[in-house]
Each structure stands twice: as structure tokens, then as C-alpha cells.
Amino acid sequence: MLYCPDCHSHKVKKNGRTHYGKQNHKCKICSRQFVIDNNHTVDAFSREIARRCLMERLSLRGICRLLGVSLNWVLNFALQEWHSAPKDLGISPKLLKMKDRSKLQVIGLQADEVWSFVGKKKNKAWIWIVFEPEHRQVIAFHVGNRGVESMRALWHKIPRKMRKWCYFETDYWEAYQKVIPVDRHLIGKEYTYFIEGFFAELRARVSRLVRKGLSFSKKWDNHLAALQYFFWKFNLEQQPYI
């Protein structure tokens, strides 16, 4: 019996023919259009596998080989997933809703930058990150050069109450000293232990951050979107343990 591949309803009607002359059908319940025995349709299970692959050190072509789908499909699917990431990176609600000044003052946010590139190694794309080590949450990130203007852009992406009350821990890079208030700034390599560990995990799971290969970023927008998507999913992964 004929049924809709999305809602599994049997209330299906014929809906003309496709460009290739195949019989097209339409579901009366969810309006999904489909062709019977269409080899080009990627099922929900494969989509979930592709979604998980985007969080691991696999190139888009590697996902194609794994799932047996076209590069065009993987690229379109990846763009759709990447742009679904929220601007707040899915930070734990416990941190976002925290209003107690005394609790915020004991939170030490670690900040550091990691090198990457887009297109070719001459096009440097420094990734600035603010990391909350206790709950392992990426609070904010910015991609740009390694100057003070990038640090200021990162600073304004941090939630306002965290900028006002939290302490910040960085290395000796001068850009931090020109932006972060002196009375809440701790400087030294010993203060960036956890974020350096996060960088190791980041490079181990995001293929576009390793040496130049087939998986490196070729477009700036895709570089930003893929990073934002990873940070969002990473934050969500940590929350069951908070």
C-alpha cells in the first residue's frame, strides 16, 4: 500500500509527473511530494548519520563516500544544518539565567585564539573563543585577524552580565589587555589550561582546522557557519552532565 515517506499517511493522491516522466504523488496530510522507489531520496536515518558526521573530522566528500550520496546533496544539507545554529550557541540556560552577582564573580572565563585559514594559508582566519571550563561551554567566538579590533568584536559578543561581573583568564597577548578591565583580568599561561585542551579537541573533530587537505574551508561564510554549528552542538553535548 502506498504511504507518505514523511508522515506515513496512506492518504496519498497522484500529482502529475516529474521532469523525468515518473509518476509524482502528494500526501493529503503533510503535502509532501514524492516518487515511488526514488533512489535520490535520502531517508531520515541517513540524514541523522550525516548530521553526526558534521560534528566529526570528516570531509564533505568523506560523508559522500560513507552514505553513498552526491556531493551536491551533502553540501546543501550541510549548509542547511550549519545555518540552523542559534546566535547564542545554545549556552546552558543555567548560565544565561544566572543573575546572582556573587556567583558570576567566581566564574573564570578563559579566552584564547587559534589559527585557521580560508581558501589558502595566506588568508588567515584567527578564531577567538571565550570558554567556560567548569560547564565546558563556548560562550562566544569571533573569526577575524589577530588585532585589537577582533578582540573588541569578541568582547561585545559575550553576554552583558558576564562582561560586567565575570573574571577573564588569558595569556600575555596584548589585545586582551587593551579590552578586558584590569581588575577582572588574570594573565598567564597557567590560566589557559582548559581552553588549550578544548582547542586540541576542536582540531581533532573539525577537519577544516587541520593542515590543508580536501576538507579545508574555501568560503568564509561556510567557515563561520560550520564553526558556529560545531560550538552549538558541542554546548548541547555537555548539558546533560551539568
Please report the DSSP string for 56-73 in residue order. Answer: SS--HHHHHHHHT--HHH
User: Which pLDDT tens digit goes with each residue over 101-146?
Assistant: 888 988 999 999 999 999 888 999 999 999 999 999 999 999 999 9
Q: Output the average pLDDT for the chain.
A: 90
pLDDT at 152: 98
Can you give the pLDDT at residue 64?
Answer: 93
Return the pLDDT at 242: 62
- The proportion of the chain whose per-residue pLDDT surpasses 90, expressed as a percent, equals 64
Alpha carbon dihedral 70, 74, 80, 81, in 10-degree steps, equals 150
- Collapsing DSSP states into helix, strand and coil, what is residue 180? coil
* Selected residue with higher pLDDT from 42 and 173: 173
Average pLDDT over residues 168-189: 96
Q: What's the number of CA atoms in the CB half-sphere (13 Å) around residue 120?
A: 1
- Say how many C-beta atoms besides its own lie within 10 A of residue 42's C-beta: 16
State percent of the chain over pLDDT 70. Answer: 95
Query: Is residue 185 pLDDT above 90, yes or no?
Result: yes
pLDDT at 214: 58
pLDDT at 70 over 60: yes
CB 85 within 8 A of CB 225: yes
Q: What is the pTM of this model?
A: 0.74
Query: pLDDT tens digits, residue range 41-59?
Result: 688 899 999 999 999 988 8
Give strand ranges (E) for 18-107. Answer: 23-27, 33-35
Position 213 pLDDT exceeds 70: no
Short-list 113, 210, 98, 215, CA closest to 165: 98
Q: Name the residue with cell 552577582.
A: 101
pLDDT at 187 over 90: yes
Residue 39 pLDDT level (bands cut at 50, 70, 90)? low
Distances, alpha carbon 234 to alpha carbons 39, 60, 121, 202, in Å: 33, 19, 26, 10
For cell 535520490, the residue is 40
> Taking 70 as the threshold, does the pLDDT of residue 17 lie above it?
yes
Residue 88: φ, ψ to 5°: -85, 5
How would residue 38 be classed by pLDDT, with cut points 50, 70 and 90? low
Buried b (16+ CB within 10 A) or exposed e, 96-116: eebeeeeebeebbbbbbbbeb
In 10 A of CB 81, how many CB atoms? 18
